[in-house]
Chain A
Amino acid sequence: MPKLVKDGAIVDNDWTLMAKPEGEAAEAKVPGGKVIVPLKVWQAQHDALAERSDIGVWLDTDETADELGDEAKRFPLVAVHFPAFADGRAFSTARLLRERFDFTGELRAVGYFLAEQACYLRRCGVNALDFGPEREHHLEPAIEALKDFTEYYQTSVDQPLPLFRRRAS
């Protein structure tokens, strides 16, 4: 079974990530079992997929959190995709899903990103890191990197009060 980092530990990854369909999103066949579907597929097959409880959805880097919006809450899992680790849009998407759309389920990073980004991802609300089969060597270092910082200046998902409000008290 492939592995990922979830809440600071290496665990089995029992979700399947469905690739973007080549053809019409409405016609794409969604497999059974726990599956993370592309946003477009969710939108195109909304009513049928809404029946299932084992569906998660993933947002590509150019899809913003408000395209899922309040519906995020109904999913057990939402994933944000990194086409390249230097493309930082997913950091905003993750934060918005948590802070603006009150998503409390598993928020997973997928695609090409690095263990070195684990701490910032955690601070933006991501609690699961799926590096994929090619980058399993990032799993162990990511556990360490999650703890790179334990104190922060700004507000973030894990620390809603900026340092200055905590300093003052």
Chain B
Amino acid sequence: MYIYDEYDRRIQGQRVKQFRAQMERYLDGQLEEAEFLPLRLQNGLYVQRLAPMLRICVPYGLLNSRQLRKLAHITRTYDKGYCHVSTRQNIQLNWPQLEEVPDILDELLEVEMHCNQTSGNCIRNTTTDQFAGVATDELVDPRPYCELIRQWSTFHPEFAFLPRKFKIAVSATEEDRAAIRVHDIGLQIVRNDAGELGFSVFVGGGLGRTPVVGSLINEFVPEQHLLTYLEAILRIYNQFGRRDNKFKARIKILVRAMTPDVFAEKVAAEWEHLKDGSATLTGEEIDRAKSYFTEPDYEAADDTAIQAEIDRLASENKAFSNWLKRNVRDHKKPGYAAVNLSLKPTGIAPGDITDRQLETLADLADTYSFGEVRTTHEQNMVLADVRKADLYDLWQKAKAAGFATPNIGTLTDLICCPGGDFCSLANAKSIPIAEAIQRQFDDMDYLYDLGNIDLNISGCMNACGHHHVGHIGILGVDKKGEEFYQVTLGGNSSNDASLGKVIGPSFNAEDMPGVVQKIIDVYVETRTEEEPFIDTVNRVGIAPFKERVYAKAS
């Protein structure tokens, strides 16, 4: 994990001091509401329906146990004792007091955390695969590059007032777990024929009201040119992105208007000036970044013997066996596993976690996973380096803490935005819909039989819940002041990213569990053996689903 040196500490300390002064000027009446707005947003502070919301940055999803304990303390002292994991791997507080935010920032600084650029029209937190560094299918660890991007983008003086927010994601695996094609910039780490490392660059992807899959504008940018190339893209966007209409201000609109080819040419022309300049990465700097993400002290283990013991325990205990199947993942090191801790038990808003749970999580991390955890964009947590020999113990403790719902990847591991319960932009509530669906599908064996299904819910077309890329997407819509829900099928956020198609007129809240049930019934009846939900939808199209869902009751 990256550790601050004196420079990082100085820069971050100056940031907190700066924001404290800005807050004072605002409270003093010297700054108008509208003037303070972008300043507070760039420090993670939203003001929403019921209270301010503070979005704490978790750089590329990595947290250590000290930070978890600090977060527990913060939620207890400044909030109502819980927080929320967001779909961009950050942590949100729902009820902080505006005036106390500088104090929260000071507390965060003690554990090398911050809220920099977690909202506002600037470069946001860079995200990546939650299994970075331990994945079996990874070319290299993407996190050093994320850290290089973090430093470059932090308080970048030229790009703090962009036309709109800007999000970058990095993937180093074949199976894209970072959804890079629905980001403003998606970077795929690749090796060229000469064996050199570099990036394939996708630009202009995004969800929101105009969902678009990103375009490849450069197949190979050598790694040392990463920052100058990003700078060239941002400069073109800053100068030419639309500012007259907030809904047309994302880079996707610019890329589309110019066409990806012309956009790529503009970037190439700008890059000519920047390339090989002083911002070109040095070998030493890349090595320095990598030195923070070295392997922990893995023990050599007899994988076969351990596996035999686990198999034995699993054969005696169905619940443990289910958990192993759904929540535990292969690890690149023999004798180790990566463990998903589910934040989606039925009845809790998806992604919520309490102060106590944060502390338990810190203890689990210290005992079982070298003191580190990761947040995931599916709004769960991961212990990435667990000895397989410890899995049974860990499972029991995780179960006691409410982290062991064995539903990872299933229909009830759904992504859900805060919706009408919290958000002033919402057309409709989303959390109660999530809960109703979880209640409908409460039979675990049935869920397992259904296999992997992404169900994503957003309370309005801003798409915080990524409904467009859910295999099943649910979108809250407003009809004459009443809450309705529109359903899409066939969205996908992985390699063959695609956007779901609307199946027809929207439904009442009460109808939603039944609608999802009918969709699932059609899947079960039409699937071929072992065919995942998304493949069935792609094979048969949405017509059969539509027919069933809208059939007149007989």
Residues of A within 8 A of B (CB): 64, 85-89, 91-93, 95, 100, 114, 116-117, 119-121, 123-124, 137, 141, 144-145, 148-156, 160-165, 167-168
Choose from B22, B152, B227, B278 the contact partner of A160 (Cβ within 8 Å): B278
CB–CB B158/A168 < 8 A? no
Known: A155-B279, A161-B278, A168-B285. A91 touches B238 (CB 8 A): yes
Tell me, in angstroms, the Cα distance from A95 to B281 when the chains sit together: 21
Is the CB–CB distance between B152 and A153 below 8 Å? yes
A149→B282 CA distance, assembly (Å): 25
Contact B25 A86 (CB under 8 A): no
Known: A93-B239, A152-B157, A164-B288. 5 other contacts (CB 8 A): A120-B157, A152-B155, A156-B157, A164-B281, A167-B5
CA distance A168 to B282 in the complex (A): 10
Residue pair B235, A100 in contact (C-beta under 8 Å): no
Check A88–B161 contact: CB distance below 8 A.
yes
User: How many Å from the CB of A65 to the closest CB on chain B?
Assistant: 9
Complex Cα–Cα for A95 and B270 (A)? 13
Which 10 A-B pairs give the minimum distances between C-beta atoms? A88-B161, A123-B157, A120-B157, A164-B285, A153-B151, A148-B18, A91-B158, A155-B279, A92-B238, A151-B10
Determine if A88 and B278 form an interchain contact, defined as CB atoms under 8 angstroms apart.
Answer: no
A100-B273, A123-B157, A124-B157 as given contacts; A85 in contact with B18, CB under 8 Å? no
Residues from 149 to 170 in B contacting A, C-beta threshold 8 Å: 151-152, 154-162
Knowing A86-B38, A89-B239, the reply to whether A154 touches B156 (Cβ < 8 A) is yes
Contact B157–A119 (Cβ < 8 Å): yes
Q: CA separation between A156 and B35, bound complex, in Å? A: 25
When distances are taken between beta carbons in the complex, the residues of chain A under 8 Å from B405 are none
Docked pose: A95 CA to B18 CA in angstroms: 23
Q: Can you report 19 A-B residue pairs in the complex whose CB atoms are below 8 A from each other?
A: A88-B121, A88-B158, A88-B162, A91-B158, A91-B161, A93-B239, A100-B273, A116-B39, A119-B18, A120-B157, A120-B160, A148-B17, A150-B14, A151-B7, A152-B157, A153-B152, A154-B156, A155-B278, A164-B281
Number of B residues near A (Cβ < 8 Å) is 42
Q: In the complex, which residues of chain B have a beta carbon less than 8 angstroms from the beta carbon of A124?
A: 157-158
**Chain B: CB-nearest residue to A158:** B157
The one of A91, A93, A160 that contacts B157, using a Cβ cutoff of 8 Å: A91
State A148–B17 Cα separation when bound (angstroms): 8
Complex Cα distance A86/B36, Å? 11
B325 interface contact, C-beta 8 A: no
Question: Do the beta carbons of B239 and A141 come within 8 Å of each other?
Answer: no
- State whether B282 touches A87 (Cβ < 8 A): no
* Measured CA separation A16–B159 after assembly (Å): 30
The residue among A87, A93, A116 with the most chain B CB atoms within 10 A of its own CB is A116
Chain A residue at minimal CB-CB distance from B36: A116
> Beyond A155-B277, A167-B7, is A86–B238 a contact (Cβ under 8 Å)?
no
Which residues between 1 and 40 of chain B lie within 8 Å of chain A, taking CB atoms?
Answer: 5, 7, 10-11, 14-15, 17-18, 21-22, 25, 30-31, 35, 38-39
Q: Please state if A144 and B30 are interface contacts (CB–CB under 8 Å).
A: no
Instruction: Tell me, in angstroms, the Cα distance from A88 to B42 when the chains sit together.
Output: 14
B7 touches A163 (CB 8 A): yes
- Chain A residues contacting B14 (CB-CB under 8 Å) are 148-151
Q: Contacts A86-B161, A163-B151, A164-B288: A151 and B11 contacting too (C-beta < 8 A)?
A: yes
Closest A-chain residue to B237, C-beta based? A92
Q: B151: nearest residue on chain A (CB-CB)?
A: A153
How many Å from the CB of A153 to the closest CB on chain B? 4
Query: Within 8 Å CB of A86, what residues of B?
Result: 38, 121, 161
For B156, list chain A residues within 8 Å (CB): 153-154
Enumerate chain A residues within 8 angstroms of B209, measured Cβ to Cβ.
none
Looking at B15, B158, B279, the one whose CB has the most chain A CB atoms below 10 A away is: B158
Does the CB pair B11–A152 fall under 8 Å? yes
